[in-house]
Amino acid sequence: MNTIFEQAVARLLAMGQLAGVADSVLAGLSRPKAMMYASLPVRMDDGATQYFDAYRCHYSQMLGPSKGGIRFHPGVDDAEMRALGLWMTIKCALVNLPFGGAKGGVVVDPKSLSRMELERLSRAYMRAMADFVGPDLDIPAPDVYTNERIMGWMRDEYEVIKGAKFPAVITGKPVNLGGSEGRFEATGRGAFYCIEFLRVKEGKLPEDLRIAIQGFGNAGYHLARLLAEAGYKVVAVSDSQGGIYCAQGLDVQLVHERKIATNQLHPNYPEGSVSSCENCDSYQSISNEDLLAMEVDILVPAALENAITKHNVEAVRAKWVVEVANGPISLDADQALFERGIVVIPDVLANAGGVIVSYFEWVQNRAGYPWSLLDVQSRLKEKLEAAFEEMWQFQHQKEGVSFRQAAYAKALLHLQEVFKMKGTKEYFANGE
C-alpha cells in the first residue's frame, strides 16, 4: 500500500494537472525542502533514560517561514510528517498567509508520561530543533496531543538556549505567555464558520441539521460547542475510546464535563472518554465505525488521517462531510463520495482557522501589541469567508469540479505565481 505521503503527492499531482499548474512547480511541491530527525534522550521519573524519535519537516518556504504543528503520537513517522507538511503548504497558500508549510512530531504515547516527563520531553524537542526553528524560519504550534502548556515550555526552552526573548518562535501559547486570544478554539471556530457559510448558501436552518463528530479534542470539542450554541443538533461524538449518541441532540457541555471528570489517570490530557456519558438518560453508546455510518446531515471527521477509506466509504450516509482532521478521507474514498454527490469541505479550508489565528498570534508577538478577542474573531471570519467564497465561485464556474479541486486550484495557482515572481531559474526554463 502507498504511504500517506505518496497518497498526498498523488492527490497534489492530480489536482495540479487539472488546474493547469506547470509540471516544474508540481515537482517542486512533491518533496519537502528539508527534514530534521533527532533522537531525544529524556530522563524518566524512575531515573532511567528513554529515547524518543523526533521529526521536523520544513515542507515549503516559498511563501514565507514554514508553519505547522507538533504532534505527540505513537503513529508519527516520516511519511506522516511529510504529508502533513504538504497539506500545511496548500492550506497557508489557500488562505493567503505569508507562510510555507511544516510539521513536527514525536513518536510517543504522551498519556503514558507523567507531567514532569512530558515537560522534559517537550523541552528536549525544542533543544534538538532550536537551530531548525525561529520566528523568521519555521514556527511550530499545537497539533494532536500537544497543547498550549507544551507550547509555553517550548518557548521558554528556546529563549534559555538563545539568551533572549522570542515570543514569535511558537504559536498556540497560553495567553499570559504571549498567546493570542481565541487561539485555543480557533480550529473549531474556523470549521464552524465554514459550516455556517455552506448552510447559508444551501438555505438551511441550524435546527434542521444533524451532526456527528469523530474526535472530541481541541478541534472537535470547540466545533461541537459552537454548533450546539448556534442551534444545530449535535447527535453523536466520539473519541479514541468510543462514542455517544442521542437522537434529540447531545448536551455538549455535559459530555465535555464528564470526559474531563473521568480524566483522573491522565491529568495532562482531557482523555477521559465521551463514552463515560453512556448512562445519561437517552444517551446510547456507539463505536467510531457506527458514528461514521450515521444518517446525519453533516459528518465531521476531527481525529486522525484515513478515517474514511475504501473499506467504509460505502457506509457513509451524510450529505456533507467537513474535514476538520488533516487528511481524514483517502484518495479512493474521496472519489467515491464525489461520485455519490456528497459534498466535502476539504481540510485545507475547514481546519485553517487554527493556522490563521496562529498567524495573528505571530503578528501580535512581533508588533508587541495584543488584539482583543473580538478583533481576532472578526478577522478570522473575514479571512475564511474570502477563501470560502473564492472556492465556491471556482467550483460553481466549472463543471464536475469538487470543492477540494477548487481549493487546490486556488492554492496551487497562487504558489505558481510566487514561483514565477521569484524568477527561480530552477522552475521555469524558458524565461516564462
Ligand X SMILES: O=C(O)CCC(=O)C(=O)O
Ligand Y SMILES: NC(=O)C1=CN([C@@H]2O[C@H](COP(=O)(O)OP(=O)(O)OC[C@H]3O[C@@H](n4cnc5c(N)ncnc54)[C@H](O)[C@@H]3O)[C@@H](O)[C@H]2O)C=CC1
- For cell 465521551, the residue is 274
Q: Which is nearer to ligand Y, 144 or 344 (CB)?
A: 144
Q: How far is the CB of 171 from ligand X (least distance, A)?
A: 5
Using the rule CB under 6 A, give the single segment among 107-115, 120-128, 153-161, 347-355 that binds ligand X. 347-355
Q: Which residues contact 95 (CB under 8 A, 6 or more apart)?
A: 349, 352, 355, 356, 383, 384, 387
> Taking CB under 6 A as the rule, does residue 354 contact ligand X?
yes
Type of residue at 428: F
- CA–CA–CA angle 44, 49, 54 (5° rounding): 95
Q: Give the nearest distance from C-beta 410 to ligand Y in angstroms.
A: 19
177 SS3 class: helix
Rg (CA), the chain: 21
User: Does 398 count as an annotated binding residue?
Assistant: no
Spatial distance between the Cα atoms of 228 and 146, rounded to a whole number of angstroms: 25
Counting Cα atoms < 13 Å in the Cβ hemisphere of 236 gives 26
Pattern 320-339, ligand X, x by CB under 6 A: ------x-------------
Catalytic annotation present for 103: yes
Nearest distance from C-beta of residue 300 to ligand Y, angstroms: 10
Region 77-136 residues binding ligand X, contact defined as CB under 6 A: 88, 91
- Residue among 16 and 68 whose Cβ is closer to ligand X: 68
* 429 grid coordinates: 526554463
In what side-by-side order are the strands of the sheet with 343-345?
284-286, 242-245, 233-239, 210-214, 298-301, 320-322, 343-345
Which region among 112-120, 216-224, 353-361, 404-412 touches ligand X (by CB under 6 A)?
353-361
Check: CB of residue 376 under 8 Å from CB of residue 392.
no
Element (H, E) at 61: none
CA distance 100 to 90: 8
Instruction: Name residue 410's amino acid.
Output: K
> Is 142 an interacting residue with respect to ligand Y (CB under 6 A)?
yes
Binding letters toward ligand X, positions 54-73, x by CB under 6 A: -------------xxx----
In whole angstroms, how far apart are CA 360 and each of 182, 304, 355, 370?
10, 26, 9, 9
61, 147, 171, 214: which one binds ligand X (CB under 6 A): 171
Q: Looking at beta carbons only, is 40 or 219 nearer to ligand Y?
A: 219
Q: Phi and psi (nearest 5°) for 72?
A: -110, 105
Cβ pair 258, 335 in contact under 8 A: no
217 binds, among ligand Y, ligand X, none (CB under 5 to 8 A by kind): ligand Y
- Of 163-171, 237-245, 336-344, 361-369, the segment contacting ligand Y by CB under 6 A is 237-245
Q: Which of residues 308-337 bind ligand Y (CB under 6 A)?
A: 324-326
54: contact with ligand Y by CB under 6 A: no
- Give the span between the Cα atoms of 402 and 119, in whole angstroms: 43
Distance of alpha carbon 316 from alpha carbon 278, whole angstroms: 24
For the bound state, the minimum distance from the C-beta of residue 95 to ligand Y, rounded and expressed in Å, comes to 12
Half-sphere exposure of 414 (CA within 13 A, CB side): 23
Q: Is 91 annotated as a binding residue?
A: yes
Q: Which is nearer to ligand X, 139 or 228 (CB)?
A: 139
The least CB distance from residue 132 to ligand X, in Å, is: 16
CB 103 within 8 Å of CB 135: no
Instruction: Choose the contact partner of 65 out of ligand Y, ligand X, none; CB within 5 to 8 A by kind.
Output: none
The one of ligand X, ligand Y, none whose footprint includes residue 68, by CB under 5 to 8 A per kind, is ligand X
Q: For binding to ligand X (CB under 6 A), which residues are involved?
A: 67-69, 88, 91, 141, 143, 171-172, 326, 351, 354-355, 358
Q: For binding to ligand Y (CB under 6 A), which residues are involved?
A: 142-145, 187, 214-220, 238-240, 288, 302-304, 324-326, 351, 354
Instruction: Could you list the residues known to form a binding site for NAD(+), using ranges.
Output: 187, 218
Catalytic residues: 103
